Structure 1
Amino acid sequence: MDLIWEKFTEWLKEILVGGVMNNLTGLFDSVNNKVGEIAGQVGSTPQAWNSSIFNMIKTLSDNVILPIAGVILAFVMTLELIQLITDKNNLNDVDTWMFFKWIFKTACAVLIVTNTWNIVMGIFEMAQSVVNSASGVVVANTSINLADNIANLEARLMEMEVWELLGLWLQSFIVGITMWALTICIFIITYGRMIEIYLVTSVAPIPMATAVNREWGQMGQNYLRSLLALAFQGFLIIVCVAIYAVLVQNMIVDEDISTAIWSCMGYTVLLCFTLFKTGSLAKGIFNAH
């Protein structure tokens, strides 16, 4: 009877050890791949990221939003002319220079509105240059593979009891599901940022039409701040990945396999949390509310 139980236990341990090894071998592969793709995603301009979407947004902006911006510009500049005249004691104290000032401001406003797309894309081209330079300097290897980092892993697993192996298999299975969820989170962050960029740039002519006005100019200024925040959010994301890479490279794999698994998961969860925070942090830096 003892021999039968011993054989059954050995057979069960082999199954559990094989399951744990399979779980640990590819546990962080999906996250590693997504983290490795981040630099390329955030370093792309809207045109380079997806040219079809870019052309569609540009067409909508030129054909739908730009005429509305022209109407708003005419209203804003007419209102400013009225204010200039009424501010001078109801035409009793009118200086000729103020009309030249108004003409100059109107010409600048028209120039800005008609070249809004070039201005917006110029901001993202500048940010892309910064992101690409940063990624070439700081981003290193971000891969995690516990099966390779823990010495004699399979032999150590065979020395464990059946209940310990069952618990370890359940832990690795749960962490595997969590890694799959975190992979989706990273996908949402990187793709969601680009979609937000397309949405914001599609209406660019409207806030830019108010940029030179005294009272309405705050709209255009806030819009430019939001653009800068979106553009340089990519730089903050690269910094987060760089910090994650340093933590991973300096990670000491614990003798306790369970602790090692949860430590690696903790680093990955921390990365996703900081990636989510980069958007609000960038807006706080540029005061874009």
Structure 2
Amino acid sequence: MEAVLEQIEEWFRNMLIEGIMEHLTNTFDSMNTEVGEIANVVGQTPATFMPSVYNLIKNLSENLIMPVAGIILTFIACYELIQLVISTNNLANFETWIFFKWILKTFVAVTLITNTFTITMAVFDVAKWVIDQSGGIIAASTAIDASALAGMQSTLEGLETGELFSIFLQSFVVQFLIQIAAIFIFIVVNGRMVEIYLTISLAPIPFATFGNQEQSQIGQNYFRSLWALGFQGFLIMVCVGIYAVMIQSVAFTTDIMGSLWKVLGFTVLLGFTLLKTGSIAKSIVHAH
């Protein structure tokens, strides 16, 4: 009878170990895949991330927003001419050179608005170069490899049945929470690209305000916002680098559940820091 009970217990232990290892494998696969995708997403420009979406945004902007921006630019150019004419003592000291000044300013404004997408894409090309270079410096890996999993299995095989059952339940909960955190990270990282598409869709309007000193604050703030969105990708890469160092400090083969909960905490922390990168980037370049 004791032999039968021992066989049943051994079968239950093996089932628990297999279940725990499946939870661990799913947990780390989900985490490694999502974190690994971060560098691929932030390292792309709007034109390469989803070319079909980019072409749609560009067509909408050029065909619908550009005429509105042209009207705004015409109003600003007329207003600027009036201001230049009456600024010299209400026409008492009138000079013809102000017309050349107005023509030059209008020419620059028209050049900016007709090259809106070239300028905006240049911002993201520079940001992409910085992100690519940072990827070579931030070389730490966040992956949990097969050797770490093998070490965990060896540790599990030396535990009692009650401890295995407790770890089985906890690993199931951690697996579920890690998957939720991975979804949150996916939303934050890909949401940045959607925000970029929405921002560049209205680019001609703020670019049309550069022709007037008073209204140019709109264009300047918009331009700072573009740089903030671009360099938000760099801050995201820094977050991933910090996360990689934290993950490498976890000893998975000694206290498995303590390590798992620590990994969960680091992953949740990564999600919240990624969420803050947008506001940090905007505060640095003083964009509203």
Q: Tell me if TM exceeds 0.5.
A: yes
Q: For 2:101 and 2:285, how far apart are their aligned partners in 1?
A: 30
Return the TM-score normalized by structure 1: 0.92
Partner SS for 1:211: helix
Equivalent residue, structure 1, for 2:107: 107
Amino acid at match of 1:207: P
Write out per-residue CA displacement over residues 52-81 of structure 1, whole angstroms, 9 at most, x where no aligned residue: 111111111111111110000011121122
Cα deviation digits, residues 214-249 of structure 1 (max 9, x gap) = 111110000000000001111111111122222223
Relative to 1, partners in 2 of residues 1:150 and 1:68: Cα closer, same or farther, differing over 3 Å? closer
Match of 2:263 in 1: 264
Aligned to 1:40: 40
Q: Is the 8 A contact 2:152 2:253 kept in 1?
A: no
CA distance in 2, matches of 1:184, 1:73: 43
Identity of aligned residues (%): 49
Q: How many Å separate the matches in 1 of 2:253 and 2:190?
A: 35
**What do the CA deviations read for 1:258-277 (whole angstroms, capped 9, x no partner)?**
11111122222222121111
The answer to which of 48-57 and 159-168 deviates more is 159-168
Instruction: After TM superposition, give the deviation of residue 9 of structure 1 in Å.
Output: 3.4
Counterpart secondary structure, 2:136: helix
State the alpha-carbon separation in 1 of the partners of residues 224 and 151 from structure 2: 54
Measure the CA separation in 2 of the matches of 1:250 and 1:64: 53
8 Å Cα contact 1:21-1:154 kept in structure 2: yes
1:123/1:231 contact within 8 Å kept:
yes
Identify the residue that residue 64 of structure 1 maps to in structure 2.
Answer: 64
Report the CA distance shift for 1:73/1:126 in structure 2 as closer, same or farther (over 3 A).
same
Query: Is 2:234 the counterpart of 1:216?
Result: no
Alpha carbons 1:60, 1:202 under 8 Å: kept: yes
1:6 is displaced (CA, Å) by: 4.5
Q: Identify the residue that residue 89 of structure 1 maps to in structure 2.
A: 89
Q: Deviations over 1:25-61 (max 9, x none)?
A: 3321112012112112111111111111111111111
Following superposition of structure 1 onto structure 2, how do residues 180-259 of structure 1 map, counting pairs within 5 Å? 180-253=179-252, 255-259=254-258
AA aligned to 1:30 is: S
Alignment size in residue pairs: 288
Letter in 2 for 1:194: M
Gaps of 5+ in 1: none
Aligned counterparts of 2:44 and 2:154: Cα–Cα separation in 1: 46
Conserved 8 A contact 1:30-1:180 = yes
User: What pairs with 1:6-85 in structure 2 (closer than 5 Å)?
Assistant: 6-85=6-85
> For residues 115 and 6 of structure 1, do their structure 2 counterparts lie closer, same or farther at Cα, with a shift above 3 Å needed?
same
Pairwise CA distance, 1:2: 5.8
Q: Tell me by how many angstroms 1:96 deviates.
A: 1.9
* Matched residue type, 1:17: I
What amino acid does structure 2 have at the position aligned with 1:77? Answer: A
Letter matched to residue 120 of structure 1: T
Per the alignment, residue 128 of structure 2 pairs with 128
2:148 & 2:187 partners in 1: Cα distance? 30
Report the equivalent of 1:116: 116
TM-score by length of 2: 0.93
Measured after TM superposition, the shift of residue 86 of structure 1 is 2.5
Answer yes or no: is 1:149 the counterpart of 2:148. Answer: yes
Does the CA contact (< 8 Å) of 1:81 and 1:102 recur in 2?
yes
Residue equivalent to 2:285 = 286
- Do the aligned partners of residues 21 and 38 (structure 1) sit closer, same or farther apart at CA in structure 2, a change above 3 Å counting? same
Change (3 A) 1:155 1:64: closer
- Contact 2:181-2:268 within 8 A present in 1 as well: yes
Q: Is the 8 A contact 1:31 1:180 kept in 2?
A: yes
Q: 1:57 to 1:155 in 2, by over 3 A?
A: closer
User: What residue is the counterpart of 2:177 in the other structure?
Assistant: 178
Contact 1:139-1:241 within 8 A present in 2 as well = no
Name the CA shift for 1:152/1:231 in 2 (closer, same or farther; >3 Å): closer
CA distance in 1, matches of 2:63, 2:152: 63
